[in-house]
Amino acid sequence: MAEKKDYYELLGVQKNASTDVLKKAYRQLALQHHPDRNPGSKEAEEKFKEITEAYEVLSDPEKRKIYDQYGHAGFGPQGFDWRQDFSRVQMDFSDIFGDMFENFFSDFGRAGYGGRTSAAGRHTRGSDLEYRMSVSLKEAAAGAEKHINISRYDECPACKGTGSKTGKSERAVCSACKGRGQVVKSQGFFTLAQTCPSCKGEGRIISDPCPNCRGTGRVRTNMHRIAVKVPAGIEHGSSLRLKGQGDAGVSGGVRGDLYITIFVEKDRLFERRNSDILCEVPVTSTQAILGDEIEVPTLTGKVKMRIPSGMQTGSILRLRNQGMPRIAGYGKGDQLVKIRVVVPDRLSRQEKALYQQIKDTENPDTFPEIKKFKSNL
Ligand SMILES: [Zn+2]
Ligand SMILES: [Zn+2]
């Protein structure tokens, strides 16, 4: 596969483009490259997929954050699965296009993904959904409760999910698909086995459909708020399963699940090494020479730490139990404090005189690094 193009470049927008600018850019390109407008063009189809993927990521603040930080790698080794995510952006599309392509999107987005029909062909399980959530390293360390808003299908309140207006209708076999739930359809140049539009894949037609949900038993909810408990010690790329929080099933079928994929943001101070945390701390040359008590930041606040005399730059000291919680085991990892010896960039007259005095008396053989270097010459 060719190397993936930059999402911002694909949409022809600046890195700091606002949501409105993104939407306008995408709308213009999508209208131009939409497969229905370019029948038979493989190139238009590819282009359409690319810009749709770019828009899908950049229009979602969470995903955009992940993309800005990790690039395409943020979406796993397989990259972004546009098919999988397609169903979830239908609402955004109808917002963009009005009813223009509604049919295309709703059929295409759901084809081959999600619902399974039971043997009776009546109750279809709702689709599983995926949400990508970023958490800070501190949140990953301490655990967190976060709230997300998702768009999903919920049980229709008017018919309580049955799809029937009266609640006692008989279901006749759908004539459009002869009960198979699928029809082969060509739209533009796509030829796909699609969910039957008459029975919505159920294979049966309800005789008195509920007007609120057109007999499907479910309605779309935007911005459904869900609390997500992020366990302490969670790792980048791991996934949480929220059972029964996906799409509602058709005609009272079982709900799908919601998968939360976790992205741990990079931290400016701390670097994770499994359950240990590495933090580089600058100390002055005299602190390193004489030893001192210094203040060290940890994931849970500052602590005082004794550094012995003669610390070399790059040496690592260990603060026990100040690392990440071990999610599978017990306790915590350690914090590794990497010492970096720094020197001043300006000196007072008095300091200069004192350093000069030290320089005149110091013995190069008492510097282990210099000794080692000399012996290697
Ligand atoms: Zn209903
Ligand atoms: Zn049908």
pLDDT digits (tens, 9 = 90+) for 178-232: 888 888 766 565 566 777 888 777 787 778 888 998 888 899 988 889 999 999 9
The C-alpha atoms of residue 151 and residue 112 are separated, in whole angstroms, by: 20
Output the average pLDDT for the chain. 82
Stronger pLDDT, 141 or 117, i.e. the higher one:
141
Ligand 2 geometric centre to CA of 164 (Å) = 17
* pLDDT value for 286: 96
Ligand 1 geometric centre to CA of 166 (Å) = 10
* pLDDT value for 84: 41
* pLDDT value for 185: 64
Pick from 101-110, 120-129, 252-261, 323-332: least confident: 101-110
Q: How many helices (H) and strands (E) does the chain have?
A: 11, 15
Ligand 1 geometric centre to CA of 259 (Å) = 27
The domain ranges of the chain are 1-113, 120-169+208-265, 270-376
Ligand 2 geometric centre to CA of 216 (Å) = 12
| pLDDT (average), residues 16-20 | 89
The C-alpha atoms of residue 170 and residue 172 are separated, in whole angstroms, by: 6
Polymer length in residues for the chain? 377
Angle separating helix axes 102-110 and 90-97, nearest 10 degrees: 170
Ligand 2 geometric centre to CA of 332 (Å) = 56
Ligand 2 geometric centre to CA of 175 (Å) = 6
Q: Which of 226, 124, 126 is nearest to 181 (CA)?
A: 124
Contacts of 243 (CB under 8 A, 6+ apart): 257
Pick from 113-117, 323-327, 371-375: least confident: 113-117
* Residue 168 confidence class, pLDDT cut points 50, 70, 90: low
* Residue 269 confidence class, pLDDT cut points 50, 70, 90: very high
Q: Residue 79 above 70 pLDDT?
A: no
Percent of residues, the chain, with pLDDT higher than 70:
82
The alpha carbon of 23 is separated from its chain's Cα centroid by a whole number of angstroms, namely 20
Ligand 2 geometric centre to CA of 213 (Å) = 17
Q: Residue 56 above 90 pLDDT?
A: no
- Show the DSSP H helices in 315-367 as ranges: 349-361
* pLDDT value for 343: 96
Tokens describing residue 357: 């005095």
* Residue 94 confidence class, pLDDT cut points 50, 70, 90: very low
* Residue 245 confidence class, pLDDT cut points 50, 70, 90: very high
* Residue 87 confidence class, pLDDT cut points 50, 70, 90: very low
Whether 126 contacts 253, CB under 8 Å: yes
Tell me whether domains 120-169+208-265 and 270-376 share a fold.
Answer: yes
Tokens describing residue 317: 């000291």
* pLDDT value for 371: 92
* pLDDT value for 5: 86
The C-alpha atoms of residue 115 and residue 201 are separated, in whole angstroms, by: 9
Starting from the CA of residue 213, give the closest ligand. Answer: 1
Stronger pLDDT, 214 or 285, i.e. the higher one:
285
Q: Residue 85 above 50 pLDDT?
A: no
Whether 307 contacts 291, CB under 8 Å: yes
| pLDDT (average), residues 95-111 | 38
* pLDDT value for 78: 46
Stronger pLDDT, 186 or 268, i.e. the higher one:
268
Ligand 2 geometric centre to CA of 258 (Å) = 28
Starting from the CA of residue 163, give the closest ligand. Answer: 1
Ligand 1 geometric centre to CA of 127 (Å) = 18
Stated as kind and residue range, the H or E segment containing 193 is: strand 190-195
| pLDDT (average), residues 154-166 | 87
Q: Residue 288 above 80 pLDDT?
A: yes
* pLDDT value for 141: 94
Ligand 2 geometric centre to CA of 205 (Å) = 7
Q: Which of 10, 43, 4 is nearest to 26 (CA)?
A: 10
Ligand 1 geometric centre to CA of 251 (Å) = 9
| pLDDT (average), residues 294-302 | 95
The C-alpha atoms of residue 136 and residue 334 are separated, in whole angstroms, by: 19
Residues, CB-to-ion distance under 5 Å, ligand 1: 156, 158-159, 210, 212-213
**Fold held by 1-113:** Helix Hairpins (1.10.287)
Ligand 1 geometric centre to CA of 220 (Å) = 11
Starting from the CA of residue 183, give the closest ligand. Answer: 2
* pLDDT value for 104: 37
The C-alpha atoms of residue 306 and residue 292 are separated, in whole angstroms, by: 6
* Residue 118 confidence class, pLDDT cut points 50, 70, 90: very low
Ligand 2 geometric centre to CA of 269 (Å) = 58
Q: Name the architecture of domain 270-376.
A: Sandwich (2.60)
Phi/psi at 338 (5° precision): -95, 120
**Fold held by 120-169+208-265:** HSP40/DNAj peptide-binding domain (2.60.260)
Whether 86 contacts 169, CB under 8 Å: no
The C-alpha atoms of residue 220 and residue 213 are separated, in whole angstroms, by: 9
Ligand 2 geometric centre to CA of 183 (Å) = 8
- Show the DSSP H helices in the chain as ranges: 7-11, 19-33, 42-58, 61-70, 82-86, 90-97, 102-110, 137-142, 285-290, 349-361, 368-376
Q: Residue 296 above 90 pLDDT?
A: yes
* Residue 281 confidence class, pLDDT cut points 50, 70, 90: very high
- Compute, in degrees rounded to 10, the torsion defined by CA atoms 10, 13, 19, 20: -110
Ligand 1 geometric centre to CA of 162 (Å) = 7
